[in-house]
Chain A
Amino acid sequence: MAASFAALVLLLVLTIFLRRSQRLLITAGFSLAGLASFLAAGAGFLTVAQGMTFRIVVPLGLPDLPFHLRLDVLSGYFLMIIGLLALFVSIYSIGYVRGFLGVRPVTSLVVFSTFFLAGMFLVVLADDALFFMIAWELMAGASYYLVMFEDERLENRRASFLYLLVAHVGAIAILLSFGILAGLTTGFQGFEGYTFDAMREAKHPQALATAAFLLAFFGFSAKAGVIPLHIWLPEAHPVAPSNVSALMSGVMLKTAIYGMMRVIFDLIGVFPWWWGALVLVFGLISAVLGVLYALLQHDLKKLLAYSSVENIGIILISMGLSMIFASFGLTVLSALAMIAALYHTLNHAMFKGLLFMGAGTVLHATHERSMEKMGGLIKFMPWTSALFLVGCLSIAALPPFNGFVSEWLTYQAFLLSPALTNPLLNLLVPLGAALLALTSALAAALFVKAYGVTFLGHRRSRHPAVIHEAPWSMRIAMSLAALACLALGIFPTYLIHWMDPITKFLVGDTISSSAAGFGWMWLTPIAHDRASYSAPVVFVVILAVVAITYLLLHSRAGTIRRGPLWGCGFEGITSRMQYTAMSFSMPLRRIFGFLFSIKEKVHHLPPTTHSAFPGRLQYHLRVRDRAWIWVYQPISDASFWISRRIGRMQHGRIQVYLIYSFVTIIVLLIFSR
């Protein structure tokens, strides 16, 4: 771990010397970042495997408030996730950032990526509130500059401001939450309670613990992008450079999940069932609305950003279930749901990282963000298309890839919930399962759209430029991520066995004894007669079916013939008559339209040639988040109104300002005897 930070520091020093030679800077910089990430991932992996805990107290920071660092199984797990994806993304960046050469200096990108990585590592390592907040802000600040990287566009500046604003509102809530927890340790008398150890030991009275939980949940939700705090996400992710959006979406959101787990399960520890229900409900809202919003997007990266909202929702669903089970003392079920949450966290990091890298590759090649101008890219970028397809299959939760395993585990947790005795929960949980099923189906539709419109068919752009396949480093990075997706999908039993110490630490029980009860091939979460899944068998069967189909089709020459598209006799078929991203999602827009604010406009242009021919149509569609109109617009209007009112007190005259304090003093003198 120390070596990892040494590499990061070395990298920062290096940037100072290499500012002149940008090409070398990119290669050396991101190689070192990759090395650091690799070391971090290794450290995290070993920590979890051996269930160890390391502590260091660093005598830095404010006097009498040294920094505490601790590497336990939970932080080790997240360290592994961050390190693994950061490793892939660093390899990817070597190729991707070269695209900026000659366009703009990339020194700031390298420097702030380094800070960003260091911030994320430190967040999971921090063991006191002070250091946690410092690392948290380091992460937020660095990522702000990364979003701002292409700062000449108004859109980027706006997005990064929004991001910073939400991040800070969240950070304030987290700080207050830590304040309450720290205050409880000393009875609001001193500062000694700022370490997480002291918070663990303290007794938590119900009311104050609830306040701390609500604040922490709010604060971390702002970072994780839980609806309705998600608005910064679809703004910031698309405008950031793609390697950064891969990191932000893949792992930065996960630090918020880490924070929730740390505060709820580790620091507070004991909680009533309705906390879990609250988390579950917000998870459901995020999952369903996230995927619906994603379906209506036609900007590839915006679509992926909304899909992150959905996946964070799924993670929260599992976490909420785990909390509910834990509060009823059903530790095995709680461990199952927790495994589902943790597993999905890892999975989402992998496939969302892969997808953002793929989207970045497409962007890199076409310089287009709108899907309406893509299409047919599979012919130009076979590698990228295949790897992107792996990502799509994973995120749509199709076996044998990893998304299926974690979502299947979540369903298992849902299906085992009749063990609960609370009637309200018995009502809520089946509803949740149904909504999760809806989400999964919509997610599958979403990625059919994303893949189909982007890579299949013909190109829609009117001025098709020459498109090249991505350079080797980008392909290697994406292949590695795709391999990780496949491996995580095929060997879940190993993973679950490896994750044992984490559930032991968080909820006090494990599921591996039953989960792997039938050998490494079969995953049987609770009991084999209830449910079992053998990923390797499924994989082999799928492989066999695909191989047989391929052989059957290609064994004889002449089975496959390529010919022009039959247009029912219509001659003038152009590439613009394909299904577009907008038209693909039209049925869903009709059904779920009430959830959005939709503005449709159709212009009938006069016929250009002869009135016998049909006139031309122009179709405008604007879909906006309801959250924006209902929640944020009033807040922003109100703050502007108040600012204007207060602004009237500002005259710019020193004397007037002095009069304010003068009058205050006199009034205090007279009335405060």
Chain B
Amino acid sequence: MKHWLETYSIIDFISVGILLTAVTLNAFKSIESYVKAYTINSWLLAGLIAVVGVLVNESHLYMAAVLTVLTKGVLIPIIIWRIIRRMRVAHEVTPYISNTLSLAISGILVAVVYASLQGGIFVTGFSRDALQISIAVILISLFIMITRKKALTMVMGLLFMENGLFLAGFSLTFGMPTIIELGVLFDMLMGVIILGIFAVQIKRVFASADLDKLTVLKG
């Protein structure tokens, strides 16, 4: 199995899958598709962890993979679905710029990342592509956060960014100590719950989930 994984460079396939799910965000129009993309992204991330676990024979990576699936692949999407249903908002994500432009910029971002990380200062990880992809995912999700209006798309962007960060850390270190991974996952979970509450409150107070309205809070 190990041999088979290496021959077909499964790691790179999964990494590219993660990148693609992030890029698709630029094209989606509804918040539900965002959640679906996030779910796929998380499962792919967990798969990547498991594959690396097989390659380097580290049993604690299996545990990390299972935890990732449970929280990011199952629990967080469920919470977000519930929030979406509670808010009963219009489901469009209302970007500031057109989807085409958005896609183009994402492409440029990926190119910039690849160009700038070419020197290869990081040689420790299992795959240099994984590092570049993770940085690209971080930038794309940041870009999504910048160009979307709704509070919930912010949360989704943040979640994608966290996946990217996780991948970046993982690609350099073959998995952080389990206690740190647990801590990060728990943080994420709490973050989503709190942000969800905030989003619902913003909707209730401003009668809209558009973050534009928050400018009135400025002193």
Contacts and interface: CB of A to CB of B under 8 A. Distances in A.
Interface in B108-148: 109, 112-113, 116-117, 119, 121, 135, 138-139, 142-143, 145-147
A651 B116 CA distance: 31
A665 B112 CA distance: 11
A673 B217 contact: no
B139 A662 contact: yes
A655 B212 CA distance: 9
B123 to A, nearest CB: 15
A650 B217 CA distance: 11
A284 to B, nearest CB: 46
Interface in B63-92: none
A673 B112 CA distance: 12
B146 A659 contact: yes
A560 interface: no
A650 B218 contact: yes
Contact of A653 (B117, B143, B211): B211
A670 interface: yes
A651 B212 CA distance: 11
B212 A653 contact: yes
B142 A662 contact: yes
A652 B139 contact: no
Given A653-B215, A654-B214, A669-B113, 4 more contacts: A652-B218, A662-B143, A669-B112, A669-B135
Contacts of A666: 109, 112, 139
B130 to A, nearest CB: 17
Contact of A662 (B96, B146, B214): B146
Contacts of B121: 673
Interface residues of A, number: 15
A655 B116 contact: no
B82 to A, nearest CB: 23
B154 interface: yes
A132 to B, nearest CB: 34
A655 B119 contact: no
8 contacts: A652-B218, A653-B215, A658-B142, A662-B139, A662-B143, A666-B112, A670-B112, A673-B116
A608 interface: no
A21 interface: no
A654 B154 contact: yes
Interface string A629-663: 00000000000000000000011111100110110
A651 B215 contact: yes
**From B142, B146, B147, residue with most partner A Cβ within 10 Å:** B146
A658 to B, nearest CB: 5
Interface in B26-42: none
B214 A655 contact: no
Contacts of A670: 112, 116
Nearest to A672: B116
Nearest to B211: A654
Contacts of B147: 655
A652 B217 CA distance: 7
A653 B154 CA distance: 12
**From A650, A652, A665, residue with most partner B Cβ within 10 Å:** A652
A658 B145 contact: yes
B84 to A, nearest CB: 20
A673 B119 contact: yes
Nearest to B138: A665
B177 to A, nearest CB: 19
Nearest to B145: A658
A385 to B, nearest CB: 52
A666 B142 CA distance: 11
Nearest to A656: B146
A655 B211 contact: yes
Contacts of A659: 146
Interface in B96-111: 96, 109
A650 B112 CA distance: 28
Nearest to B215: A652
A669 to B, nearest CB: 5
Given A652-B217, A653-B211, A665 B139 contact: yes
Interface string A42-63: 0000000000000000000000
A669 B135 CA distance: 10
B154 to A, nearest CB: 7
Nearest to A661: B142
A669 B116 contact: yes
Nearest to A670: B116
A658 B146 contact: yes
Interface string B175-219: 000000000000000000000000000000000000110111110
A100 to B, nearest CB: 35
B97 to A, nearest CB: 11
Contacts of A655: 96, 145-147, 211
Nearest to B149: A655
A673 to B, nearest CB: 5
Contacts of A650: 218
Contacts of A665: 138-139, 142
Contacts of B113: 669
Nearest to B157: A658
Nearest to B96: A655
A662 B119 CA distance: 22
Contacts of A654: 145, 154, 211, 214
Nearest to A658: B146
A666 B143 CA distance: 11
Ordered nearest first, which 7 A-B pairs have the shortest CB separation? A652-B218, A652-B215, A669-B116, A658-B146, A655-B146, A662-B142, A654-B211
Contact of B214 (A653, A661, A669, A673): A653
A659 B144 CA distance: 11
Contacts of B135: 669
A661 B146 CA distance: 10
A659 B146 CA distance: 6
B196 to A, nearest CB: 16
Contacts of B96: 655
Contacts of B146: 655, 658-659, 662
A144 to B, nearest CB: 24
Nearest to B135: A669
A181 B158 CA distance: 44
A651 B211 contact: no
A111 B165 CA distance: 48
A669 B142 CA distance: 15
Nearest to A652: B218
Nearest to A673: B119
A221 B136 CA distance: 53
Interface in A566-606: none
A658 B144 CA distance: 10
A662 B143 CA distance: 7
Contacts of B154: 654
A652 B145 contact: no
A43 B109 CA distance: 70
B191 to A, nearest CB: 15
Interface string B39-53: 000000000000000
Nearest to A671: B116
A661 B113 CA distance: 16
A659 B117 CA distance: 21
Nearest to B218: A652
A296 to B, nearest CB: 40
B152 to A, nearest CB: 13
**From B145, B154, B217, residue with most partner A Cβ within 10 Å:** B145
A652 B96 CA distance: 17
B26 to A, nearest CB: 15
